[in-house]
Amino acid sequence: MYLRIRLCFATLIVLSLQNLYADSISNIYLEEVIIKDSFSDTKKKSSVQTVDIIGQNYIQKRFSGNLVNSIEDLPGVNSMDIGSGFSKPMIRGMAFNRIAVIENNIKQEGQQWGADHGLEIDALNVENVTVRKGPAALLYGSDAMGGVIEITEKVMPVEDIFFGELYAVAKSVNESFGGSLMLGIKKNNWYSQLRYTEHRFGDYKIPTDTIVYLTQKIPVYNRRLKNTAGKENNISWLLKYRKSRLSWQLQISDVYQKTGFFPGAHGIPDISRVEDDGDTRNIGYPYSFVNHLKAIVNGKYSFDNLIFSADISYQNNLRREISMFHTHYPTQTAPEKDPDKELEFRLDTYQGVFKSILLTGDNIKHTIGVDAQIQNNSIAGYSFLLPEYRRFTLGGFMLGEYKLSSRLNIQGGIRYDLGKIDADSYEDSHLYEYLISQGYASADLERYKMRSYEIDRLYKAFSGAIGMAWNPSRQHSLKLNIGRSFRLPGVNELASNGVHHGTFRHEQGDPDLKPESGWQFDISYDYSGEYLSFGVSPFVSRYSNYIYLRPTGEWSVLPHAGQIYRYTGCRAMLAGGEVSASVRLPFNFSYSLAGDYVYTRNEDENLPLAFSPQPSLRQTVSFDTKRMNIYMQSHLIAGQRRIARNEDITKGASLWHAGFSYELPSAKFPAELILTVKNIFNVRYYNHLSFYRKMEIPEPGRSFNLMVKIPFKTKI
């Protein structure tokens, strides 16, 4: 956006010289200055990484029920969907524990490892998002080797005001409705904000009446996927204080999500379980619920050229999977309390990040920091997948930023991490009795009854990065970045040993796994002209130990579990890139495109890696006025034929989306209406990354999404 301001500085200079030249001043002419770079543009150009920076307005105009779906228009960002309710992010082909989600300098900690676990963040409470593509372990530690989604609060208002906003949202594909109310106040040095959000949704519609799971045809009555209804309740409170050199804030949030699982995709196929029950909004068995409580304290104190900051947090992530009690073991009886609680994971996380920033003149900045985290995970339920464990990590890092000139910026740094994982053993007496009845030898009995052995591992790792951002002119920007990153193996990769009903397969960890490690290189070039802008950002990554879930061909001793999938390390390569362009056309029209491609390879087996995203290209034509925006988007998705073992080829698709937004003129309540239509022609297509892809369940059909936003404020 172009900002036009007058040269107030000229006035100050003239007034300061008034005593010397008072008699010679007769009039002052102030020339007009045009500032063409916004704060986000400046931040993006100064970063040596490939980044995208978006605000609340971007998310609102693409809101699809959760944060990840609302930002997947960005090239290089993909959504791993769990039905129509929840999603987890993927950046450049990496997901799960390889992507860090950071909110106010604190890493979001839940059950990221599961394909059926979403992101517990209120999308309507997100103000600004920075997507960092590529390795970011230098600042954010182990889980940021593939990229970072960084969520930050908006700047504290200058004037004393009482303000707020009211959202109403609806979505036709699952007949969802919801709303969000935010109230805030800024008075002197204090700022406080409270938000409550609630969503309710029913079984979602798909453009087919039959799916195939484990070679069996399963009907989809009324083209609705039974038991995919759910609800979400979120509340958050923010308190800030700022005076002179000191600033601090406290944020407390609680996110509650409950959603059903399609019963035809869990366990042995059974047509009777998918029969229409006449209620599209009830949540029956099986289902899961998640409650994520988070408290963050951020503090900062500034001297003339030295800044100290401390970020401390506590998180409690509780996940339960509820399924009517069932067992394959004659000796196992239903628990007296919570008999239908199949699995429970309760993860407590304590984290502290402490940094000092030294500014040497206008051109040099040094950052030194320490990041420590303690985790404790307890389990419950009549099934077993993961043992109880404790995890401790400690990292120290140094980062230097040198502005060699106004056009050239160099950044580099190193990091050293220690990680300790202690996991308990778990003995399965019910399996032991079952194997005796099946006639297994005594030597095998002792080995199989131990579902998990005790683990006590200590890991050490170095990481580092160096990069350059060169801006020879306002129109051109060139970046180079090379980094070495790492990731500690997750406890699921070390110690899991059971049927994960989210994917219905026997997943087994390997306690001898080494940390993931590798090198990443990326380069990006951007041109920004008055009428034309474009950018290209290729990358390549090579890993000496990339952990993946490998089908072993070994038959599981667990009843109805099939073959064992074991976590294994391999040499791997990922390469690809993103491209984007936009053109300003006459009569308030504009055209833009955004595309991405990722190539993956398991170099030990000469096969692609699992969950490789499909190449895609989005082309958008928009019409904009001061108050109105209309767009039409073509979304071309290529087929994915490069598949890992036991994956299915996914065909491509051509989709069309459209959107309309209008700001209603009003002095007191300037409401905004946003209407979007996804998959206009109700095309049947598949997402290769989807949790339901294995069951040949297509993506949701046509959906009309409506949002009404009413902001308000008054001075106090």
27 and 40 within one domain:
no
Is residue 522 in a domain?
A: yes
Q: How far apart, in whole angstroms, are the C-alpha atoms of residue 123 and residue 68?
A: 8
pLDDT recorded at residue 667: 66
Q: What is the rounded CA–CA span in Å between residue 81 and residue 614?
A: 14
Report yes or no on 370 lying in a domain. yes
Q: Are 454 and 439 in contact (CB under 8 A)?
A: no
Same domain, 519 and 392: yes
Number of alpha carbons in the 13 Å side-chain half-sphere of residue 619 = 5
Give the chain's domain count. 2
What pLDDT is attached to residue 64?
Answer: 81
Alpha helix positions (H), 378-418:
none
> Does any domain span residue 374?
yes
If asked whether residues 486 and 578 sit together in one domain, one would say yes
Closest among 537, 599, 539, 538 to 572, alpha carbons compared: 599
Q: Does residue 534 sit in the same domain as residue 669?
A: yes
The answer as to whether 137 is a domain residue is yes
- What DSSP state is assigned to residue 30? P
pLDDT 10s digits, 504-533: 678 889 999 999 999 999 999 999 999 999
Task: Name the band, by pLDDT with cuts 50, 70 and 90, for residue 4.
Answer: very low
DSSP state of 16: H
User: Band of the pLDDT at 134, cuts 50, 70, 90?
Assistant: confident
If residue 353 lies in a helix (H) or strand (E), which one and from where to where? Answer: strand 341-360
Amino acid at 391: R
State the Cα–Cα distance between residues 686 and 649, nearest whole angstrom. Answer: 10
Q: Cα separation of 142 and 421, whole Å?
A: 14
CA 225 → CA 47, 142, 229, 351, 384, distances in Å?
A: 44, 37, 9, 40, 28
Looking at the structure, tell me whether residues 17 and 145 fall in a common domain.
no
Q: Quickly count: other Cβ atoms within 10 Å of residue 235's Cβ.
A: 16
DSSP state of 640: B
Do 16 and 56 lie in one domain? The reply is: no
Q: Is the pLDDT reported for residue 6 higher than 50?
A: no
How confident is the model over 526-577, as pLDDT tens digits? 999 999 999 999 999 999 999 998 888 888 888 877 788 899 999 999 999 9
pLDDT recorded at residue 666: 75
In a domain, 425, yes or no: no
Name the pTM for this structure.
0.89
Q: Which residues contact 303 (CB under 8 A, 6 or more apart)?
A: 245
Residue 12's domain comprises 1-35
| Co-location of 9 and 119 in the same domain | no
Q: Which residues contact 626 (CB under 8 A, 6 or more apart)?
A: none
* CB of 191 closer than 8 Å to CB of 163: no
What band does 28 get if pLDDT is binned at 50, 70 and 90?
Answer: very low
Helix (H, G, I), strand (E, B) or coil at 10: helix
Shared domain check, 434 and 496: yes
Q: Are 154 and 31 members of one domain?
A: no
Instruction: Determine, yes or no, domain membership for 222.
Output: yes
423 inside domain: no
Of residues 613 and 304, more confidence is placed in 613
The tokens describing 39, both together, are 């704060």
Whether pLDDT at 39 is above 90: no
For 647-702, how does the pLDDT look when each residue is reduced to its tens digit (9 = 90+)? 889 999 999 999 999 998 876 778 999 999 999 999 999 999 887 887 788 999 99
| Chain position carrying tokens 């963040």 | 121
Strand-pair partners of 597: 577
Query: Using the 8-state DSSP alphabet, how is residue 11 labeled?
Result: H
Q: Do 29 and 110 lie in a common domain?
A: no
- The number of residues in the chain equals 716
For 226, half-sphere exposure in the C-beta direction (CA atoms, 13 angstrom radius) is 24
Q: Examine the domain organization and report whether 24 and 140 are in the same domain.
A: no
Q: Is 424 inside a domain boundary?
A: no
Return the residue matching tokens 């409170």.
237
Average pLDDT on 154-164 reads 89
127 with 176, same domain?
Answer: yes
Strand blocks (E) in 474-588: 476-487, 497-500, 505-508, 516-528, 532-555, 563-584
- Looking at every residue in the chain, the average pLDDT score rounds to 88
Average pLDDT on 73-80 reads 90
Neighbours of 166 (CB within 10 A): 16
